[in-house]
Structure 1
């Protein structure tokens, strides 16, 4: 790991470093920088009361779009009206932004920069005077909290289809620079889970691949891109997630506790390598998974609360000494099984440092405070985690420079340079799975009808790829929703009568028989039909069509690339980063890893 390399360099001594030349001199500078960061963190720790230290252990959500917005939920959750008051009163270590109806933090890039600065000023005026970690889940694809005019980019699985670590690193560097310009200094990414279960309800295209080698390569590239692509004030902390690996889950941990019956040997072969790759690149933090893996901890405890996993494996065997943060404690996998006062204490006992989104903040803080008062947790144990958090803040320049230049936001975020770079990368992702009718490319498409999946209420983003693609193809749009009604299907069939070519966008056919009915009905018209799997590429297993294309994402940048491929302006270059098994026989592979047609 990088920290060990620096420590060894420090043993060489000044004379040997000077004799070794410029590379060793750079190593000495890095060592000096690391020592300065440690000194900053230790000094900051010495100035904190126990109450302030406990505050540093929590990352919370605040409600509103500015530091001074009064919101009823702030009052309900924290006993104060505004986000700034939450930070000043509770002196938390970090906040996390969301774009949903709940927290509703995101409007536009300049608003976020002002919001971030307002929260940092509140932190600096609190008793602790410690700047915040400001975090977000900006993974790309479906998990995008900040949409246009910020640069949008495709899912991790789309990047996996390009087979390019260089592309993954470029995407991460662009995202890092834009996030930091908006005052966000930590991204809960990359997803290091290997999506080995095609039926996984929560990971899917958030994973780079079902193959550990490819996932590891791209995880490492993204960690480098986020953390090492520029000045400290242009980089963000990463959080490789969800350790020890959420890729084989059959249950969504937001709604229940997944139990993964994987042997330890298989875990070491499949799930572990991407996390090792992230740690080898010096990932600032690791996020835990709310999963039970009995082969790693026979007690069946969620990994987040498991000392054998968090300490025995992650800390002791793997030697990781960065920040370990929980996945959201308000998720049902934890909240339904453990009292709000107990979960954070168990997490700290397991070896975790920061608690993300406790269901009840006051109860969580009380649980930790009471545990220290009773001797169950020592203040030394609290110090250990707080020091890791403060080291991260020092390493990213948060302690030294927490505020951002609001005047620079418009020049950086969503710049043409960034958008063009992402578009060029996305152009390598579209994968043609099947072209049995020789329909592609569409040499003379004539009048084009685009029908199928849309979800206009997708959090923070009007998901309307049907209209987006129809515009690109100069065709007619007929959105039919997630679960088209008989009337929707009949309307699409009627519209197809006036079309020469039909493109059907699908998303989640396994759980939507109505979408399958739509595709079959449009095929029955006798018109040439192109079926497109918009997100997870597994849809072809649930509906037969002679022409299948996978895009791994439905955002505008991916629809633009799809249009270029369909019209023959771009040769498809994507290769499947997963196997696509038959729906009725998982052992039968319809389209193998690496498959992808071109012309």
Structure 2
């Protein structure tokens, strides 16, 4: 965790008079030609800050969406705005070689522009449901990790992910999710959370943070002050969490408190309204009481705070996009992620500083935090990504094996009436529903006879994902039951489906629709793996609670 040294606070005032007093235009002849001499991030960041124009400092606050698949397509944005970074999405990512070349090109553009500050190149690579890379090992979702109860596996996921990202020049991952999922109807977190127990979530998230940062990749814990108790998706609306300060401190706070103490590089805000914690009627992203008051002053966090994406409707309810950017900075945010109109947002923040609404001292606080983190993670002297090495890492067999081990350890057997599972070798099985092709292929490889009809089958396996809210999936399970064959459900989303599927004979929760999770389910059904996962959440509407799970 970063701590502002007393000498730096005094030095900042002096730097403001020299850096900003002579006008806002860059001074190319005074630009450092290489990284600052000091090896202390505090002193080096101050040295860099003194050489930056006002526009360049404001630029460090912005992280826009990347355009296209080449650096050249983004050259104008780098030159005009000097952004603090970019965020990659699937449309920007093709092959390891292409991503490495694009990352290298972007860093070259940044080095040749303005103060020459390198870029955060970030991505949402949580693994599981939220994964952007089209190559490399695919691990199960966070809830599957929670079911293993093994922080070593969380660290293994983050280490492998960090290696894959760093190989293609991506130096920041918007992960892990530190939200405690206590709402079965949560439409946006769910299996992205490690579970409903604050201690478990904190332990697993801390393991990932440590592994990401040891791998040279900036870790971003999200979404403060907590998005696990919502029934509204903040991408489409503003969730309201009407819980007391006491309840929030008991459930949502502990993982973030643990990560602050562990020195997490960056924390992302949530676009949620918590009226009992903050009377401003603003989402947390725009709340000085929550970001500056609670996160900074009460928890003592002096790392980088980033907003969640500013193009989400949860933060666009009451202000225009320029005002949202200004208010986020005033609330205490250091980086503004994905403004829907970069020019409008940049102009609004720049004007707010020039007019004194955002003080230059407040701006410099954020820029110093950003620069310190870039120095601490070695961005100024990072070697270019090597395309050949990137291709090798993407196909790393050890990473794929690790993903399968995590999936195998996560499978949670919650019902097994009459000892139906494991099925005997050679048993006939009809496979239907979500993931049927992959589950069926894995069962066939394990010696079971996969049939085209339920008639005479020893069991019908039905894959589900969110059946509680999907009548077609529930109807498919009902038709399988009507066949007269025993029914095995493989739940690949949250495990809450069980309450909506009465009368089934066996129920497996794998918490993920990744191929490794479907293979793991097949291994348990066939008896090649004994189920060892334990429920990471309570199951409302059933007699099963956190920690539940059967074995063979």
Instruction: Please report the TM-score for the alignment, with normalisation by the length of structure 2.
Output: 0.90
Counterpart residue number, 1:580? 539
Counterpart residue number, 2:65? 61
Counterpart residue number, 1:36? 40
Counterpart residue number, 1:482? none
Q: How far apart are 1:124 and its partner, in Å?
A: 1.3
1:138 to 119, 125, 129: 125
Counterpart residue number, 2:551? 598
Counterpart residue number, 1:218? 204
1:365 to 324, 346, 371: 346
1:560 to 515, 519, 540: 519
Counterpart residue number, 2:422? 441
Counterparts of 1:256-271 in structure 2 under 5 Å?
256-271=237-252
2:99 to 104, 112, 118: 112
Structure 1 residue ranges without an equivalent (≥5): 8-32, 69-81, 229-233, 454-464, 476-491, 583-588
Question: How many residues are paired up?
Answer: 518
Task: Give the whole-Å Cα distance in 1 for the aligned partners of 2:157 and 2:52.
Answer: 38
Change (3 A) 1:543 1:35: same
1:380 aligns with 2:361: yes
Is contact 2:451-2:457 (8 Å) kept? no
1:532 aligns with 2:490: yes
Q: How far apart are 1:118 and its partner, in Å?
A: 1.3
Is contact 1:85-1:122 (8 Å) kept? no
Is contact 1:196-1:210 (8 Å) kept? yes
1:542-588 alpha-carbon deviations (Å, 9 max, x no partner) = 11112110000011111121111110011001000001111xxxxxx
1:246-289 alpha-carbon deviations (Å, 9 max, x no partner) = 01111110011111011001111110010011111110000000
Q: How far apart are 1:382 and its partner, in Å?
A: 1.1
2:220 to 232, 239, 242: 239
Counterparts of 1:173-184 in structure 2 under 5 Å?
173-184=159-170
1:187 aligns with 2:173: yes
Task: Give the whole-Å Cα distance in 1 for the aligned partners of 2:471 and 2:228.
Answer: 25
1:319 to 283, 300, 306: 300
Is contact 1:162-1:573 (8 Å) kept? yes
Is contact 1:66-1:83 (8 Å) kept? yes
1:161 aligns with 2:114: no
Task: Give the whole-Å Cα distance in 2 for the aligned partners of 1:389 and 1:417.
Answer: 34
Q: How far apart are 1:179 and its partner, in Å?
A: 0.8
Structure 2 residue ranges without an equivalent (≥5): 7-36
SS in 2 for 1:115: helix
Q: How far apart are 1:301 and its partner, in Å?
A: 1.0
Counterpart residue number, 1:395? 376
Q: How far apart are 1:35 and its partner, in Å?
A: 5.6
Task: Give the whole-Å Cα distance in 2 for the aligned partners of 1:267 and 1:536.
Answer: 23
Task: Give the whole-Å Cα distance in 2 for the aligned partners of 1:40 and 1:392.
Answer: 11
Q: How far apart are 1:3 and its partner, in Å?
A: 4.5
SS in 2 for 1:330: coil
Q: How far apart are 1:111 and its partner, in Å?
A: 1.8
Q: How far apart are 1:473 and its partner, in Å?
A: 1.2
Counterpart residue number, 1:473? 443
Counterpart residue number, 1:202? 188
Change (3 A) 1:442 1:58: same
Is contact 1:173-1:235 (8 Å) kept? no
Task: Give the whole-Å Cα distance in 2 for the aligned partners of 1:422 and 1:510.
Answer: 28
Is contact 2:533-2:549 (8 Å) kept? yes
Task: Give the whole-Å Cα distance in 1 for the aligned partners of 2:38 and 2:369.
Answer: 13
1:67-115 alpha-carbon deviations (Å, 9 max, x no partner) = 23xxxxxxxxxxxxx123322332111100111xxxx111122221111
SS in 2 for 1:496: coil
Change (3 A) 1:65 1:499: farther
Task: Give the whole-Å Cα distance in 2 for the aligned partners of 1:565 and 1:66.
Answer: 44
Is contact 2:486-2:505 (8 Å) kept? no
Q: How far apart are 1:426 and its partner, in Å?
A: 2.1
Q: How far apart are 1:415 and its partner, in Å?
A: 0.6
1:122 to 96, 109, 114: 109
Q: How far apart are 1:501 and its partner, in Å?
A: 2.8
Q: How far apart are 1:221 and its partner, in Å?
A: 0.9
1:410-429 alpha-carbon deviations (Å, 9 max, x no partner) = 23233112222222222110
SS in 1 for 2:463: strand
2:260 to 275, 279, 282: 279
1:423-456 alpha-carbon deviations (Å, 9 max, x no partner) = 2222110001100132100114533222112xxx
SS in 2 for 1:531: strand
Q: How far apart are 1:370 and its partner, in Å?
A: 1.4
Counterparts of 1:7-46 in structure 2 under 5 Å?
36-46=40-50
Counterparts of 1:331-346 in structure 2 under 5 Å?
331-346=312-327
Counterpart residue number, 1:413? 394
1:504 aligns with 2:462: yes
Counterpart residue number, 1:71? none
1:423 aligns with 2:404: yes
Task: Give the whole-Å Cα distance in 1 for the aligned partners of 2:543 and 2:5.
Answer: 48
Change (3 A) 1:493 1:173: closer
Task: Give the whole-Å Cα distance in 2 for the aligned partners of 1:426 and 1:494.
Answer: 27
Bigger CA drift: 568-577 or 399-408? 399-408
